[in-house]
Structure 1
Amino acid sequence: MRLHTLRPENILAAAFCGPFAFAASVSSLNDYDVLKYVNPLIGTANGGMAKAVADTIGENQAGFAFDTDYVTGFSHMHDSGTGGSPSLGNFPIFAQPSCSNDDVNQCKWQLNDRAVAWEKDSVKARPGYFSISLANGVQAEMTTTNRSALYRFTFDKGLPEALSPVVLVDLIDLPQSRTNGTAEVDRSTGRLTGNGTFSPSFGIGSYDLHFCVDFKGAELRDTGAWTKNRAGITTDSVSMLADGTNTPASLSAGTFARFHSPANRTILARVGVSFMSVDQACANAQREQPDFDFEGTRSAAEAAWRKKLSVVTVDASGVSDDFQEIFWSGAYRSLISPQDYTGENPLWQSDEPYYDSYYCIWDSFRSIHPLLTIVDPVSQSRMLRSLIDIYRHEGYLPDCRMSLCKGFTQGGSNADVLMADAYLKKVQDIDWNTAYEAVVKDAEVEPANWNVEGRGGLTSWKSLGYIPTDDFDPYGVGTHTRSISRTVEYAYNDFCISEMAKGMDKQADYEKYASRSGNWAHMFKADQTSSLNGSDTTFTGFLQPRYMNGTWGYQDPIFCSPLLNFTSCYLNPDGHETYEGSSWLYTFYAPHDMGALIHALGGADKFISRLEYLHQSGLLYVGDEQAFLTVFQFHYGGRPALSSKYSHFYIPSQFNTTVAGIAGNDDSGAMGSFVMLSMMGLWPVPGQDVYLITPPYFKEVSIRSPVTGKTATIRNVNFDASYKAVYIQGATLNGQSWTKNWLTHDFFTQGGVLELTLGATESDWGTRKEDLPPSLSSYE
C-alpha cells in the first residue's frame, strides 16, 4: 500500500518515507550513511510528501506541504506528488491534550475547527520517520510498516500535569470524496474501527477502505462518537451518508477515545488499514507491530531502505553535500510508487502480484520503470505481472490506476512501452504471450470508454494514419482532444509492439506495426513556421492539427508552452491538440526514427540548433516528463557533449535541496528518477534497449544486479567536482575502446567497467554516424 513495506521484493518500505539508500564513498563504506543525504522535505513547497504524515490546510495533495500553516490530522496512506486532486489521506487521527473544562463538547472535532498551527522549526523527516510539533503542545511522531502506521503523541511538559488526552478518528479523506462511512468504538479497549467508500483522485469508480486503531500508554477513561462539533460518550458508533446536503465542512464525523493522564506524557496509536475488511486491518496491525515498538519499527524501516538501496554504490569523493543530497533524495522519491497491494485486492482472486498507484504510466514509463529495471528488476517483474493480470480480469492494460480504480488515459497506451522495454531487457518471469496479446488489443480493439483504457480513434488511425482533430468516432467514448500528442504516442506505442513482434518471430505483425510507427510524419507540416515575441524564428516544420479530409488546422507551435497559455492543454473537453506541452516540444518526439526526424527538421546542424533553442528560449518546462528525453537527444545529432551540458543546466537550477527543489510536483517519482538517472550518467530511451552515455556526477557509480550479482561500474577519469570538465574525450568498455555514445542493458546484467575520460571542452567522441543510437531510418 502507500504505507511502506518491509518485504524484500517490494520497492516500498517503512514509514513517512523511504529512500533509495546507496552506499557512497568507496573508500569509506563503513562510515557512510546514505540516509543522512535523503531529505524528504525537498519539493514539499509544491506538495510532495507521502505516507504516514501530517495533513495540512491548503496544498495537501500528499498530506504535508512546507508552505502551509495548519495541521488538521495525521493520516496513514498518501500518494506522492501526483498532480491534480489530492489522493487518499483517509481516516486521519488527531490528538488533543484535554478538552476545555473537561467537557468533550468543548474539544475541537470538525476538520477546520481542530486545525492547529505547527511550529516551523520542528519538522524532522527521514526515511521511516516524520515528526512535527503543534501549537497545542502535542509532538506527533510517526513510522510505518507495510500495512500499518505507529504514532507517538507526546504532550509538552508545559501543559497542565493532569491531562485527559483525546484521540479521534475522522471518516474523511484528503479530497473529501467519501460517499458513506461507519465508525465504531469498543468501550472496553478503546479500539476504533470503521470503513468508508471513497472516490479515486484521477479516475472513475469508487473504493472501500477499512481501518483499525489501538492504543497503548494510558488508562482508558471513556469513549464515544462525534458528528459536526458535538460528541457523546454514551454512543459507540456513527454512520455518515453523503445525501447532497453535506458541505465539505460537515463531512467530518467519527469516534474517539479519551484517556487518563499518561504516566510518561506519551500515548501510542497503532493504525492498521485494509481494502478487504476491518478484521484484516486489525490483523495487519497486530501481525506487523505486535509490541507497539516505535523505535524498533523506525529502525526496521531504515534498515529496509538501506538494504534495498545497497545495490548502488557511489564514490562521492569531492562531491558537495548538496549534490549528494539531490541525488539520494531523488533516488528516495523514485521508489515510492507503484505500491504492492498483493493480498489487498478485493476485486478478483489471483495468485499473481497486485500493484496499485500507477500515477500514471504516461508519467512513469519514461524514467521510473526503466530505473526499476536497472536497480530492482524483481519488483519491475512483479509490477508487469500485475499489469498483465489486470488485463486478464478487466480487459485492457491500464494507463493509469489508483485505489483499485481505473484512471484516466492521458495520451497513448503506454503500458505497451513498458512491455517492450522489459521484453528487450529480458526481465524475468513474465508471461510474454499474454503480454503480447494485451498490447495488440490496445492497437486493434477500441474500448467502450477510451478515457480510461486502450486507444480511441482507431478507425481513423488505421485508415488515415493519424488522429484527426475533428475525428468521427462512434465506436467508443472519450475526450476528443490531443490529436497531435495522441498521434505521436500511438506511433511510438506501435513501434514498441513491432519490437516485441520481431523478437517473437511474428514477421507480419512486425512489418505492420513498424509501418504504423511512421504515422507521426502525417501530422508534420513542413512549411509551418513559428514566431516568438512577434518575430519569426529561423525554424520551419512543426506538428499541426489535421482534419479528416486531409487539410491542415492550426495551433500556434508555442501554445501550451511556458510562453503562451501554459495551462491550457490538460485533460478536459477544451484541452487543445497537445497535452501538457507545445507543438515545439512534441515535434521532437520520434525516438524510434530520429534519422527521419532529423532529416525532416533540416539535417543534424539545424536539428541541434533547434534543440538548443528549445532549451534556451523558455519554451520548455522540464517539470513535464515529455521534456526529459529532449535533454539527451543531442546524442542523435552527433553532439553528446551538449546532453551533458544541459543535464548540468537543469541540475541544480531546477532540481536542488530547497523545499521548492523539484520542477513542479514529483509525479510519483518521475522527477526523482530523472535526477537519479541523469546523475548516474546513463539515460534510458524507454521502450528500446538503448542507454545514452553522459558522465556521472560522481567519480564512480556502480550498480550490482540483484538478479545476476554482476556489477556495472561507470568511472570518470579526470573527474572534476566543480563540473567544468563534463565532456567525454574518450571511453573504454572493459578495457576496449568504445566510441558509440550509447550502450545496451547487457552492461547492467553482465557487469563491466565503462571508463570515461573527461575534459573541459567538447571532443569528437560519439559524434560519427556509426556511433549514433539506433534509428528505423538511416542518418544522413
Structure 2
Amino acid sequence: MRVAKSWMLGVFAAHRVAAEFDPLTLVDPLIGSTNGGNVFSGASLPYGMAKAVADVNGQNTGGFATDLSGITGFSSMHDSGTGGNPSLGNFPILPQLCPNDVIDECKFLITDRPVNYSNESVVATPGYFAVSLANGIHAEMTATEHAALYKFNFSAATSDTGSKPFMLLDLTDLWQSRQNASVSVNEANGQIRANGTFLPSFGAGSYQSFVCVDFAGSKVNDTGIWVNNRAGTEVKDLFVTRGFNLWYTQAGGFATFEPPSNGVIYTRVGVSLVSTEQACQNAEKEIPEPSKDFGRIQTAAEHAWREKLSPISVKADGAGKGLQQTFWSGVYRTMMSPQNYTGENPLWNSTEPYFDSYYCLWDAFRAQHPLLTIIDPAAQSQMVRSLLDTYKNEGWLPDCRMSLCKGWTQGGSNADVLIADAYIKNLTGIDWDLAYDAIVNDAENEPLEWSYQGRGGLDSWKKVNYIPYLDFDWKGFGTNSRSISRTLEYSYNDFNVATVAKGLGKEDDATKYLSRSTNWQNLFKKDQKSIINGTDTGFTGFFQPKYHNGTWGYQDPIACSSLATFCSLTSNPSETFESSVWEYQFFVPHDMSSAVKLLGGADEFVARLDFFHESGLADIGNEPVFLTVYDYHYAGRPGLSTKRVHYYIPHSFNSTESGLPGNDDSGAMGAFTVFSMLGLFPNPGQNVYLISTPFFESISIKHPETQKTSTIRVTNFDPSYNNIYIQNATLNGKPYTKSWIGHEFFVDGMTLELTVGDNETASTWGKSADDLPPSSSVSSMLAM
C-alpha cells in the first residue's frame, strides 16, 4: 500500500506541476528585436488590431528595436516582422517635461525629440511592454482589440524646472508617408482626435487611419496644436497636407497637465480605420475607466494568450531554457498577424470576417498558416473566408495585403495554396464553390495589373507552357521579371487548383491543372554549369530563363544568393525572386520525385543539397529555403533533414535579441522554428508532414475542435543532441516506416514514438521507395 500511495502522490504532484506551468514565462517578445528580425515587441492580443509599443529612430520597421536608438514616440498600430519600409505606427504620442514649462521649449520635430533608453529597463511579455526613458519618464502599456492604454509615470522625470506633463501627438507614421491629416483638440478635457491619409508600406493605393486619445490622472492645464517647431494654445484644429514640393510638414496636437499627485498620466488611445467616432467608441467600450483598467486589461491579454497557447504541451526535461524560449516565442509570433480588422473595413459591407496584414502569403503559406491550421483552426478558417470575401468584393484573391491596400505580388497566386491546404485538412465554414471560382480565376484570367493580384503572362503560360524571359504580355502589366520563379510557383499553384478540383469531383479540370503543374520542367537546361569564383561546382543542369521562341537566356545560378547581390521587385529584379537558381532548383513541392530524377538521382540530389547548405549559397533568413532543409526526405535520407535543422536551430534561430536570421515576416520564421522543433514539417497544399526528430522528449497538441491529443515522443532522447537520427518508429504502438504522416495525426489524436540513435547511415527508417513522401508523378495523391 505504501508503494501505491507513493505512486498516487507522484501522479498528483505531476498534475500539479503541469497545472502550474505557464507558457507565458517562456515567451520573449524581444527575440528578433534587432539584427533585422523586425518583430513587434509590444503589447497586443492574438491577431489584435491595437499594437502598442515605443517607436525608435533605428530599426523601426516593427516600431521598437533593442538597438539603443532613440525613442521618438509611442504608437498603437504596427505590423510584425515585415521587410521594406516601416509599416503603420500612425499618430505617435510622446510624453515630456518641457524646460520651465514653456511650450516653445518642448521638442516637436522627430529629429529633435528622440530619448535614449537602456535595454535593461525594457520589459516585454505577452500583452505588456514597459521601458524607462533616460529623462526619467517610465512608460508602461497594454492593449485590447482596438485600443491601447499607456501609463506614463513622471515621478522620476528630470527637466530644467519643468513640472507640468506635456503630451504631444504627431500627425505622422513610421514611414512618414502621410499625405494629409487633421487634428482637433478638446480644450476642456484634452481629448485629441486625429485622422490622416497614409501609404501602405508594400503595396498600392492609400488608406485612412483614425485615432482618439484621452487622458486621465490629472487636470488639463492647456491644449493646442503645433506646426514644425512652434506651438500655440489659441488654435485647437489643424489640417495639414504633405507640404510644398512634397516637403514633409510636421504637425500635431498637444495637451499639458497639472503635476499629477502620484506622478502618473494615463493615456487611452482608440484606433479605427473607419472613423474618428468609431475610434472613440472602441476606446470607451474596451477601456471604460483608463485610470483603473490597466491591471484588468493586462490580465485579460495574458489570459487570451494562455488560451491560444494552451493546445500545446511540452515535456522539456533536459532541454535548456533558451530552446524552450525559442519554441514558445515562435508560437506566439505566429499569432501577431494577420490582424483581425472585422468591423473596421470601410471598403465594403459584409457579415464575413475581415483580416488584414497578410504580409505576404508568399512568406506565410509555407509554415505559418499550416501551423495555425493545427493549433487554431477556427482562426485559420476565418482568414480563408476573409480572403474569399476579398475576392468576392474586389474580384481577386490577395497574395499580399496590408492597411486595406493591395500588396505587391512576389511570385505566384499563393492564396491558392492556402485554400487547397484548408480543403485537404477539412477546415469548416468555407464556401468551397466560391473558393474554387476564386482559384480558377487566378489560373485562367489575367488582371490588367498583375503586380498586386492574380498572375501575369497567362497567354504564354497556356501556349508555350512556361513564363518566357522578357515575355510579350499585352494583356496585363507587372514587373516583367522572375520568369524562372514564377514558372515554378505557377506550376505549384496549378497543382493546388487540381487538388481542389479533384476533391470537388471536377475530373476534367483536375486533369488539366495537374498537366499544367508539370510546366516547371520546361525551364531545365540540362547542360548548364555553375561556377563560383572561377571554380566549377561540379554540378550540371539548372533552371534557366527561356525566350518565347524557345531559345535560352542566361542567369548565373548563384545570382541572387547569399554569395551575390540580393534580388527583389525593386532592387536588382532578376529571373528568380529573392533567391537563386541554386535555391529554386529544390522548389517543386508537389513533385519532388521528378526533381530528384531530373537533378541526377538520389545520391546526386543529396550532394547538391549538401553543397547548397555548406557553400554559403543557402539564405536561411528567407522563406524559399525552408523546404530545402527537408528535401532530403524525398531522396530517402530523412536523417539528413534532421541534421540540417539541428544545425540551423540554435545556430540561426535562438533566444537572443538577434535570434532570427532575417525578417520574421509576420511569424513565418517563428512557424518554421516551431514545426522544426516539433519534428513535423508541412508541405502545404498536401496532406503531408515530414517527420524529423523533435528537440524535446515529447510534445503533445490537443486539437481545439476534436479535443483529441496527438503526441510525438522520443525514446532515448538525448539532451546533448548527439542521438538525433531516427532508427525506428511506431504509430499508435504499431511499426511505422514512412518518413511522413498526414493531418489525421492531429485530428484523430495519434501517438508517434521515435527511437533515436547517433548513426544516420545505419538506420533504414524512412529510406525505402515505399516510405518516401508522395509526389504527384508517382502517386495518386490527388485521391482524397
- TM-score interval, smaller chain: over 0.9
C-alpha displacement at 1:75, in angstroms? 0.3
TM-score, with structure 2 as normaliser:
0.94
Answer yes or no: is the 8 Å Cα contact 2:33–2:657 preserved in 1: yes
- Which aligned pairs between 1:143-158 and structure 2 lie closer than 5 A? 143-157=142-156
C-alpha displacement at 1:101, in angstroms? 2.2
Say whether 1:35 aligns with 2:33: no
d(CA) in 1 for partners of 2:66 and 2:729?
44
Give the structure 1 partner of residue 10 of structure 2: none
d(CA) in 2 for partners of 1:237 and 1:55?
25
Task: Give the aligned residue type for 1:115.
Answer: P
- Which aligned pairs between 1:417-456 and structure 2 lie closer than 5 A? 417-456=417-456
- Which aligned pairs between 1:513-592 and structure 2 lie closer than 5 A? 513-565=513-565, 567=566, 569-572=567-570, 574-592=572-590
Say whether 1:470 aligns with 2:470: yes
d(CA) in 1 for partners of 2:116 and 2:592?
54
C-alpha displacement at 1:245, in angstroms? 3.2
Answer yes or no: is the 8 Å Cα contact 1:163–1:262 preserved in 2: no
d(CA) in 2 for partners of 1:599 and 1:613?
18
Say whether 1:174 aligns with 2:174: yes
Give the structure 1 partner of residue 137 of structure 2: 138
Task: Give the aligned residue type for 2:23.
Answer: V
- Which aligned pairs between 1:275-424 and structure 2 lie closer than 5 A? 275-292=273-290, 293-424=293-424
Residue among 707, 710, 716 paired with 1:709: 707
Residue among 265, 272, 277 paired with 2:270: 272
Give the structure 2 partner of residue 106 of structure 1: 105
Query: What are the superposed Cα offsets for residues 54-113 of structure 1, whole Å, 9 maximum, x if unpaired?
Result: 11112210111111321110000111111000000000000002x222211111112111
d(CA) in 2 for partners of 1:102 and 1:124?
30
Query: What are the superposed Cα offsets for residues 425-457 of structure 1, whole Å, 9 maximum, x if unpaired?
Result: 101110000100000010000001000000000
C-alpha displacement at 1:158, in angstroms? 6.0
Query: What are the superposed Cα offsets for residues 471-501 of structure 1, whole Å, 9 maximum, x if unpaired?
Result: 0000011110000000000000000101111
Say whether 1:608 aligns with 2:606: yes
d(CA) in 2 for partners of 1:26 and 1:468?
62
Task: Give the aligned residue type for 2:479.
Answer: T
Quick one: structure 1 residues 574 and 459, their matched pair in 2 at CA, closer, same or farther if it must change by over 3 Å?
Answer: farther
C-alpha displacement at 1:28, in angstroms? 2.1
Runs of 4+ in 1 over 4 A off after TM superposition: 24-27
Give the structure 2 partner of residue 49 of structure 1: 40
d(CA) in 2 for partners of 1:725 and 1:156?
55
Task: Give the aligned residue type for 2:168.
Answer: L
d(CA) in 2 for partners of 1:104 and 1:724?
65
Quick one: structure 1 residues 175 and 43, their matched pair in 2 at CA, closer, same or farther if it must change by over 3 Å?
Answer: same
- Which aligned pairs between 1:653-732 and structure 2 lie closer than 5 A? 653-732=651-730
Answer yes or no: is the 8 Å Cα contact 1:341–1:355 preserved in 2: yes
Instruction: Provide the secondary structure at the position in 2 that maps to 1:153.
Output: strand
Answer yes or no: is the 8 Å Cα contact 2:148–2:270 preserved in 1: yes
C-alpha displacement at 1:577, in angstroms? 0.4
Answer yes or no: is the 8 Å Cα contact 1:166–1:256 preserved in 2: yes
Give the structure 1 partner of residue 650 of structure 2: 652
Quick one: structure 1 residues 630 and 573, their matched pair in 2 at CA, closer, same or farther if it must change by over 3 Å?
Answer: closer
Task: Give the aligned residue type for 2:578.
Answer: E
Query: What are the superposed Cα offsets for residues 154-207 of structure 1, whole Å, 9 maximum, x if unpaired?
Result: 114364797200111111000111111000111111111010000100001111
Give the structure 1 partner of residue 126 of structure 2: 127
Quick one: structure 1 residues 159 and 341, their matched pair in 2 at CA, closer, same or farther if it must change by over 3 Å?
Answer: same
C-alpha displacement at 1:298, in angstroms? 1.0
Instruction: Provide the secondary structure at the position in 2 that maps to 1:52.
Output: strand
C-alpha displacement at 1:332, in angstroms? 1.4
Instruction: Provide the secondary structure at the position in 1 that maps to 2:268.
Output: strand
Give the structure 1 partner of residue 755 of structure 2: 757
d(CA) in 2 for partners of 1:168 and 1:362?
39
Instruction: Provide the secondary structure at the position in 2 that maps to 1:178.
Output: coil
- The alignment yields a C-alpha RMSD, in angstroms, of 1.4
d(CA) in 2 for partners of 1:333 and 1:345?
24
Answer yes or no: is the 8 Å Cα contact 2:713–2:752 preserved in 1: yes
Task: Give the aligned residue type for 2:52.
Answer: A
Answer yes or no: is the 8 Å Cα contact 2:327–2:674 preserved in 1: yes
Give the structure 1 partner of residue 44 of structure 2: none
C-alpha displacement at 1:124, in angstroms? 1.0
d(CA) in 2 for partners of 1:324 and 1:611?
29
Task: Give the aligned residue type for 1:109.
Answer: F
Task: Give the aligned residue type for 1:734.
Answer: N
Quick one: structure 1 residues 27 and 714, their matched pair in 2 at CA, closer, same or farther if it must change by over 3 Å?
Answer: farther
Q: Which moved more, 1:160-169 or 1:382-391?
A: 160-169
The size of the alignment, in residue pairs, is 751
Answer yes or no: is the 8 Å Cα contact 1:25–1:317 preserved in 2: no
Instruction: Provide the secondary structure at the position in 2 that maps to 1:555.
Output: coil
Answer yes or no: is the 8 Å Cα contact 2:137–2:157 preserved in 1: no
d(CA) in 2 for partners of 1:361 and 1:275?
22
Instruction: Provide the secondary structure at the position in 2 that maps to 1:702.
Output: strand
Query: What are the superposed Cα offsets for residues 260-298 of structure 1, whole Å, 9 maximum, x if unpaired?
Result: 000001110000000111111011011111122111111
